[in-house]
Amino acid sequence: MRLKAIWHSLRASRSGVAAVELAVALPLLVTLSMGGLELASFALANLRVNQIAIAVADNASRAKLTSVSGAAQFREYDVGETFKSADLAYPGMDVFTNGRIVLSSLETNSSGGQWIHWQRCRGSKSVGSKYGTQGTGATGTSFAGMGPSGSVIAAESGSAIMFAEVYYDYRPVVLPGATITIYRHAALYVRDDRDLSQIYNPSPTATVYSC
């Protein structure tokens, strides 16, 4: 009878309901909160990688050394400064330690076809362009251009497109998980009458970021 009375007393008690409910719900709430933080961090990383791709293409399309005797020249120094600006924009990302930037000059060849005239890369990640290496399309018209299927970009005759590709290895900051590679690309036409014959490297020579 005594045990029965204790049981009824416990069953009727409501003093610990909130604590029990919190103990049951807390793991789920913590998991959801951490998942939300991780999702926000991943979305921010995607945005920054996209902004880096746009900035690299934009800066490469503008950079030049004005020449009084001819068209403006694009130099290896300009390539290096373009890459450096990407790292300075988001220094905490360590884009060259955790990823790689590939910059290509898409032009037309003597046959009117598309051609990756030159390509420069910087970063520790061992990857290349998704759309071809330096020299792709040098002859003929079989190379359509750069970009995903259905959105291929082609340069016009006498001009060039700066095509930037950024790879970045995202590491989860809250929840455990494998590294995720984020990829973004951007393309912009060169914005001046640039000498497209080569990338110049006048003295004092700059580092050549060959792929």
Residue 92 pLDDT:
86
CB 154 within 8 A of CB 137: no
Residue 12 lies in a domain: no
Share of the chain above pLDDT 90, in %: 62
Which range of residues forms the domain containing residue 124?
29-189
Residue 201 lies in a domain: no
Query: Among residues 19, 45, 56, 75, which one has the least CA distance to residue 161?
Result: 56
Query: Among residues 70, 102, 89, which one has the least CA distance to residue 167?
Result: 102
Residue 7 lies in a domain: no
Percentage helix, strand, coil for the chain under 3-state DSSP, each rounded to 5: 35, 25, 40
Can you list the alpha helix ranges (DSSP code H) found in the chain?
Answer: 2-12, 17-62, 76-89, 95-98
Residue range 39-44: mean pLDDT, rounded: 90
How does residue 14 score in pLDDT terms, banded at 50, 70 and 90?
A: low
Task: Please state the domain count of the chain.
Answer: 1
Residue range 57-61: mean pLDDT, rounded: 94
Residue 50 lies in a domain: yes
In the numeric block, which tokens belong to residue 35? 């998942």
Residue 84 lies in a domain: yes
Cα–Cα separations (whole angstroms), residue 59 to 69, 70, 74, 157, 189: 24, 21, 11, 22, 11
Residue 200 lies in a domain: no
Measure the CA–CA gap between 133 and 61, rounded to whole angstroms: 20
Q: What is the pTM of this model?
A: 0.81
